[in-house]
Homo-oligomer: A and B are copies of this chain.
């Protein structure tokens, strides 16, 4: 910048003003400097600028992994919002919750943290506080930090009610197992929604019909195998997610059981795979959760008023495709 100033015969201050669009520079000088800057294709050093301005123009995005659709979609929702606000995104993949919370590499580097669907332990929560910046949560909740999520209980109810209305009365649920240390709420909430729906219809809750397995790509398939080995298998299955449901479909296909004639299957997400598999599901807006979370983060940063409603619940809705229907008599 010193060079530019020298070549333009002005002070660094003036150049700085022009570059930051600050007022108080004559049009003549402004255009002259702008031209020079363009010619030299000069840009300010963001780091120096930030150092001087005491703000770092970056936001941390913390996610357990980046591979699955949901996280990619949330990220896709976050990035454009931050970009438009002139902020950069520092993405942290916290495989098993270690490095990020232990070393806090984001410390003094970010103005806010967006935690994506990450079950945060007590220790981690305290570490997060140490960062001293606003925390917002996408796809989950954490104390009363601002967050954006769906109503998991309601989503599950929508799915199961759909099955009930199709005339099913032996409805199973394949759920993701949750460990006590990792307070991940969707499995709990969706199970509750499942039970509520059954109870609401006056259906019994058969514990054999709830299979909980630790998450894995083929977990849905294994769980379905289990359900098929029951003396009285279910006629309908509600999967924790679309990936789980599609796994169940695989087992049914291998077993030669016609869907939905003999067994109906429904998931949650409206993952792209659902459309390809003709899977009935309950759609959750993933990208929008990212978008809204990013917006919340920005509003917290603005220093302005806190957001109107710091707890946003986005709606879910049933998407009926070809894997559910009445039992074939």
On A, residues with C-beta under 8 Å from B are 41, 43-48, 50-51, 56, 61, 65-69, 71-73, 75-76, 79-80, 83, 86, 88-93, 95, 99, 104-105, 107-109, 130, 217-218, 220-221, 243, 246-247, 249-250, 253-254, 272-273, 275-278, 287
Contacts and interface: CB of A to CB of B under 8 A. Distances in A.
A66 B56 contact: no
A188 to B, nearest CB: 25
B76 A108 contact: no
A254 to B, nearest CB: 8
Contacts of A99: 83
B43 A107 contact: yes
A110 B88 CA distance: 12
Nearest to A41: B130
A96 to B, nearest CB: 11
Nearest to A245: B276
B109 A47 contact: yes
Contact of A79 (B66, B218, B243): B66
Nearest to A217: B272
Contacts of A278: 250, 253-254
A47 B108 contact: yes
